[in-house]
């Protein structure tokens, strides 16, 4: 028994009357002479303490006071101590059946698993015989015993039947006693599950035939093409059908699904309603049929590049009559199997929240439900699953419970379970997150549906997740071109001779006289007929022109630029409101002084720093009616103790955000400190934004290089989602970046990776040098939400620059102007004589631009008549026109020099070099100043960093040629 079980279970609750009196007598003896008490009883006292002073459940509870007194003083009758030990042992046996019954359950369709050690389920292990158990009242052993069960033998027999059939339960890890008792009661109830009606059984068989015959038709008709068939876990489709029906009936308006490619085509057609004809067309016209590896055969299905058919998502409206009851969505997913999980969790949270009013969004978890379909090897093998399960109870991420289905075919590509996990079950990971688990035999259709009904009822009642481990097999190889007998000869010797689930279920129904062979044959003919008719219709349309999705675009759609400046009077009003506090709020004195400085920041001669500019941007965006959601590992305060958008009462620790009380706000504001995860959190925020495109969603890395961990989300979703799936997103990513001697792990946000992924105007990549630029860019991004122009924004956010006075901006810069992709640090109206003196143009971005400015500020300006500097604020899309206009100012230009603090093989140089060469005058060389190629991003020694940084700046400002531009040594 686990420590958890011991805390929640007392053996004394089963005893009353004379039996309890005997236990009390033995306890008194134990207190004075422990060795005089039987060893088994002594162990109970040591583990569970004293028995209650009065009988639990005894008739004395309802007796008159005089009767209770007489009962308490009456001496107990003669007690057989041996019988007491047998009762205790029988109770322990019952608990073991609940806890370990799954080890003996019939949940392996192939009978391939080695037999488990089930001694703990046997009466003999506890010294009990059938006669012993028959002599014990059932109520002393089993608290949920039905009236028809009279003694212990019947109780144990019935419990073994319940816990070792084709559905196996794991509930003992659930911490809440009420939940655990409810789950046990449902499993042990004679009325659960309710038997299927004749109509439901016939419909279930027809669905299984549709699932099987669809796969057979694809196999015969499109020979050699990959489809990642569902065969072996065919029940996945009826299971999803049942979940959709149940949660829609319970009031969910949106059902959001994520799954990998195994069985996806079958789910698309039967659960999402994608027509057979469309799927056949995608197979019929798919090029590259022989591509290796398995995720080959591409087709232009959506977006600009398209994606393979078994990665695509779909939507379906579930109707009852003319009324739409719910919308069902299957998310697009790449071959990174489980990475869609946090994305659909974000979909669901967005669907559950009302963001139309100021303050925190109002969540109603009944409005939307998440379904995640997992592979058995991937569920335990991919860390993104654990990260996503951790959302289960977190304030900023929970969604009222996700329904998890493990489509368990016992294999990972060619890898057996023994090589892919260290746990007994693929589902064991979920135990750590307090999630109930049911393992069910995929060849037992009615048991599968019973598990679904239990899961849906549990979620509805307790607002928590549930795992259904649907255990089947895989009829073919990983894809239909593989020969699985090369790697699993014994398993596939069994699979070859194993009947399909539709065959097994039809035989079961025929044996029960629930259906006739003629009716079964009619269902088969009807199913085949629908498939053939769809194929014939597809062939008939073969000559018609094909519609394609959105075509590739080389430029952003034209449109009037959004106004981002805000009148100074409005800014001042908002600024004062941001300094208001609720009555009785105790502000931290030191922080109060810091924030109060903002009161005069918009006055003439004063400046607005980075964090203040952000607060003003957020407030004005809310005033425009755009909701905001910001998350990151320390986003309430800000990693660099700069933001303080959520304040903590210094006396009560109660939280308060000025943006929640802002009178000008017309939409919600949410900020959440995230769990210590980048991948799942970023995936969640991306999903939230895709589902709620009108919401300004921001994810902030604690340090920019931490985004490394989330590379799959950047690669597969944020940078490419629009091209592959026409999936639009306006998510904003803040990645603190800058070389300040903090070592390899706290310097670079890996800017080069984002620039390498930049194409097709897929996003904006920026590295800013002023708070006003930040203000305008945030407002520009917010204005683009929900429009055709919307793109993700990747921003190299500052660290030390947050408080650098050179980054702060005057108030007029917020009330006038707009975001500028390039900031020339000189007047474009200089005289021709001044321009003709210029020999070198320095281009730089981000922090190094401020370093250059500081160096120039300490020098004599006349010494640098030959030099001009421009800051490239927007790196992608490349500001070709703006930079070319600057270059053309200088007829005598000899050098265009790109200055950066990152190593030459990192940062912006590789991206900027060919573009600068393309627009440079023929007589002007394009050169580089910065660190040489390196394998590590930065030095871990402050003195080395300082020396290198000094060299970079001095070389860039040296009038000699910079052909030899790399740090040596």
List pLDDT tens digits, range 179-215: 999 999 999 986 666 788 999 999 999 999 999 999 9
So what's the pLDDT on residue 70?
39
Mean of pLDDT values over 168-185 = 95
What residues are paired with 323 via a beta bridge? 320
Give residue-wise pLDDT tens across range 820-879.
Answer: 999 999 988 889 999 999 999 999 999 999 999 999 998 887 889 999 999 999 999 999
pLDDT band at 71 (very low <50, low <70, confident <90, very high): very low
Give residue-wise pLDDT tens across range 229-271.
Answer: 899 999 999 999 999 999 999 999 999 999 988 888 999 999 9
Residue 344 in tokens: 């659909």
Mean pLDDT (the chain) is 88
Whole-number percent of the chain with pLDDT over 70: 88
So what's the pLDDT on residue 549?
44
What residues are paired with 699 via a beta bridge? 631, 733
Give residue-wise pLDDT tens across range 416-441.
Answer: 888 888 999 999 999 999 999 999 99
pLDDT for residue 78 is more than 70: no
Q: Please state the φ and ψ torsions of residue 810, each to the nearest 5 degrees.
A: -70, 155
Window from 478-492, 566-580, 772-786, 847-861 with minimum mean pLDDT: 478-492
With a CB cutoff of 8 Å and minimum separation 6, the contacts of 832 are none
Return the sign of the alpha-carbon dihedral for residues 702, 708, 709, 714: positive
Mean of pLDDT values over 12-30 = 71
Q: Please state the φ and ψ torsions of residue 23, each to the nearest 5 degrees.
A: -60, -40
Give residue-wise pLDDT tens across range 863-920.
Answer: 899 999 999 999 999 999 999 999 999 999 999 999 999 999 999 999 999 999 999 9
Q: What burial class does residue 696 get, using C-beta atoms within 10 Å of its C-beta: 0-12 exposed, 13-18 middle, 19+ buried? A: buried
Name the percent of the chain in helix, strand, coil, to the closest 5. Answer: 45, 15, 40
Burial annotation 585-606 (CB, 10 A radius, 16+ → b, else e):
eebeeeeeeebeebeebbeeee
So what's the pLDDT on residue 380?
93
Give residue-wise pLDDT tens across range 495-551.
Answer: 999 999 999 999 999 999 999 999 999 999 999 999 999 999 988 887 666 554 444
Window from 57-66, 691-700, 733-742, 951-960 with minimum mean pLDDT: 57-66
Query: What is the three-class DSSP state of 559?
Result: coil
The pairing of strands 411-412 and 402-408 is unpaired
So what's the pLDDT on residue 296?
36
So what's the pLDDT on residue 67?
40
Query: Are 839 and 889 within 8 A, CB to CB?
Result: no
pLDDT for residue 760 is more than 50: yes
Query: What is the three-class DSSP state of 412?
Result: strand
Query: What's the CA dihedral at 133, 134, 140, 143 to 10 degrees?
Result: 100
pLDDT for residue 631 is more than 60: yes
Query: Are 389 and 435 within 8 A, CB to CB?
Result: yes
So what's the pLDDT on residue 498?
95
Residue 903 in tokens: 């190593």
Q: Please state the φ and ψ torsions of residue 736, each to the nearest 5 degrees.
A: -55, 130
- Token pair 């299957």 in the structure block, residue: 330
Residue 117 in tokens: 């050690």
- Give the Cα separation of 412 and 433 in Å (integer): 24
So what's the pLDDT on residue 191?
66
Show contacts of 646-652: CB within 8 Å, 24+ apart. Answer: 646/671, 647/581, 647/585, 647/587, 647/591, 648/588, 649/585, 649/586, 649/587, 650/586, 650/587, 650/588, 650/589, 651/586, 652/586
Task: Give the C-alpha distances (Å, rounded to integers) separating 824 from 571, 795, 812, 833, 884.
Answer: 27, 20, 18, 18, 12
pLDDT for residue 310 is more than 60: no
With a CB cutoff of 8 Å and minimum separation 6, the contacts of 68 are 60
- Name the DSSP class of 581: -
- Name the DSSP class of 731: -
Q: Which of 850, 910, 841, 924 has the alpha carbon at shortest distance from 875?
A: 910
pLDDT band at 554 (very low <50, low <70, confident <90, very high): very low
Residue 252 in tokens: 């969910």
The CB density around residue 88, as the number of other CB atoms within 10 Å, is 20
The CB density around residue 684, as the number of other CB atoms within 10 Å, is 32
Show contacts of 68-77: CB within 8 Å, 24+ apart. Answer: 75/21, 76/18, 76/21, 76/22, 76/25, 77/18
With a CB cutoff of 8 Å and minimum separation 6, the contacts of 708 are 678, 750
Query: What pTM, to 2 d.p., does this model score?
Result: 0.88
Residue 558 in tokens: 């034209």
Mean of pLDDT values over 620-648 = 95
Query: What's the CA dihedral at 8, 10, 15, 20 to 10 degrees?
Result: -150
């Amino acid at each position: 028994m686990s420590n958890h079980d011991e805390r929640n279970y007392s053996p004394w609750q089963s005893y009353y009357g004379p039996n309890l009196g005997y236990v009390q007598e033995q306890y008194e003896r134990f207190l004075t002479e422990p060795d005089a008490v039987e060893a088994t009883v002594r162990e109970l006292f040591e583990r569970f303490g004293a028995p209650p002073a009065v009988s639990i459940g005894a008739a004395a509870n309802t007796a008159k006071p005089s009767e209770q007194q007489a009962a308490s003083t009456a001496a107990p009758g003669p007690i057989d101590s041996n019988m007491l030990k047998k009762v205790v042992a029988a109770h322990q046996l019952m608990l073991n059946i609940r806890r370990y019954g799954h080890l003996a359950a019939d949940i392996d369709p192939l009978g391939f698993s080695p037999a488990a050690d089930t001694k703990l389920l046997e009466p003999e292990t506890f010294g009990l015989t059938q006669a012993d158990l028959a002599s014990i009242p059932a109520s002393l052993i089993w608290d949920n015993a039905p009236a028809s069960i009279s003694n212990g033998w019947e109780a144990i027999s019935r419990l073994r039947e319940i816990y070792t059939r084709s559905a196996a339960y794991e509930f003992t890890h659930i911490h809440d006693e009420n939940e655990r008792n409810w789950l046990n009661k449902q499993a042990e109830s004679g009325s659960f599950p309710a038997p299927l009606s004749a109509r439901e059984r016939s419909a279930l068989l027809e669905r299984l035939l549709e699932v099987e015959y669809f796969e057979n038709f694809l196999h015969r008709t499109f020979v050699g093409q990959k489809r990642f068939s569902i065969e072996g876990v065919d029940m996945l489709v009826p299971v999803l059908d049942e979940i959709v029906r149940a949660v829609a009936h319970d009031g969910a308006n949106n059902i959001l699904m994520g799954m990998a490619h195994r069985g996806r085509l079958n789910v698309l057609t039967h659960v999402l309603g994608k027509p057979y004809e469309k799927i056949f067309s995608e197979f019929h016209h798919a090029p590259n049929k022989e591509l290796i590896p398995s995720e080959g055969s591409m087709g232009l299905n959506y977006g600009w590049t398209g994606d393979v058919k078994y990665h695509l998502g779909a939507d379906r409206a579930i109707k009852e009559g003319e009324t739409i009851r719910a919308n069902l969505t299957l998310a697009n997913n790449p071959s990174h199997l489980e990475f869609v999980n946090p994305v659909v969790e974000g979909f669901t949270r967005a669907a559950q929240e009302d963001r139309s009013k100021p303050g925190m969004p109002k969540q109603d978890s009944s409005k939307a439900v998440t379904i995640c379909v997992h592979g058995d090897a991937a569920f335990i093998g991919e860390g993104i699953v654990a990260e996503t399960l951790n959302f289960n109870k977190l304030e900023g991420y929970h969604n009222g419970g996700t329904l998890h289905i493990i489509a368990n075919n016992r294999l990972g590509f060619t890898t057996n379970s023994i090589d892919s996990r260290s746990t007994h079950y693929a589902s064991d990971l979920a135990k750590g997150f307090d999630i109930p688990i049911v393992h069910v035999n995929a060849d037992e259709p009615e048991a599968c549906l019973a598990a679904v009904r239990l899961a849906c009822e549990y979620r509805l009642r307790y607002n928590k997740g549930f795992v259904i481990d649907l255990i089947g097999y895989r009829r073919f190889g990983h894809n239909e071109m593989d020969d699985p007998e090369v790697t699993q000869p014994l398993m596939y010797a069994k699979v070859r001779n194993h009947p399909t689930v539709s065959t097994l279920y039809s035989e079961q129904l025929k044996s029960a006289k629930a259906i006739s062979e003629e009716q079964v044959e009619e269902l088969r003919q009807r199913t085949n007929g629908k498939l053939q008719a769809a194929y014939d219709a597809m062939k008939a349309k073969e000559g018609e022109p094909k519609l394609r999705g959105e075509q590739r675009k080389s430029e952003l759609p034209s449109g009037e630029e959004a106004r981002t400046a805000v009148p100074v009077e409005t800014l001042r009003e908002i600024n004062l409101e941001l300094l208001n506090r609720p009555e009785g709020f105790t502000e931290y004195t030191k922080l109060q002084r810091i924030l109060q400085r903002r009161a005069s920041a918009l006055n003439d001669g004063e400046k607005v720093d980075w964090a203040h500019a952000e607060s003003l941007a957020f407030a004005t965006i809310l005033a425009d009616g755009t909701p905001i959601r910001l998350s990151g590992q320390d986003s309430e305060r800000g990693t660099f103790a700069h933001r303080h958008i959520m304040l903590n009462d210094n006396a009560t620790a109660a939280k308060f955000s000025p943006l929640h009380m802002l009178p000008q706000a017309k939409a919600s504001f949410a900020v959440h400190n995230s769990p210590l995860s980048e991948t799942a959190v970023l995936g969640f925020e991306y999903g939230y934004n895709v589902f709620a495109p009108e919401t300004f969603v921001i994810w902030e890395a604690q340090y920019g290089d931490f985004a490394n961990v989330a590379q799959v989300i950047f690669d597969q979703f944020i940078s490419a989602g629009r091209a592959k799936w026409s999936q639009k997103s306006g998510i904003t990513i803040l990645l603190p970046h800058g070389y300040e001697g903090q070592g390899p792990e706290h310097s670079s946000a890996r800017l080069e990776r984002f620039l390498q992924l930049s194409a097709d105007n897929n996003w904006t990549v920026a590295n800013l040098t002023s708070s006003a630029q930040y203000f305008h860019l945030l407002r520009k991004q917010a204005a683009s939400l929900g429009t055709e122009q919307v793109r993700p924004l990747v921003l190299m956010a500052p660290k030390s620059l947050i408080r650098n006075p050179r980054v702060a901006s005057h108030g007029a810069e917020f009330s006038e102007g707009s975001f500028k992709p390039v900031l020339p640090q000189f007047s474009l109206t200089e005289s021709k004589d001044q321009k003709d003196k210029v020999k070198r143009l320095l281009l730089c971005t981000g922090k190094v631009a401020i370093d250059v400015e500081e160096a120039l500020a300490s020098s004599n300006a006349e010494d640098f008549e030959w030099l001009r500097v421009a800051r490239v604020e927007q790196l992608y899309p490349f500001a070709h026109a703006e930079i070319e206009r600057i270059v053309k100012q200088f007829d005598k230009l000899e050098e265009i020099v790109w200055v950066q603090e990152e190593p030459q093989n990192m940062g912006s140089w590789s991206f900027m070099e060919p573009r600068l060469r393309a627009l440079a005058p023929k007589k002007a060389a394009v050169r580089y100043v910065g660190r040489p190629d390196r394998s590590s991003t930065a030095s871990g020694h402050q003195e080395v960093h300082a020396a290198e940084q000094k060299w970079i700046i001095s070389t860039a400002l040296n009038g000699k040629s910079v052909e030899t531009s790399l740090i040596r040594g």
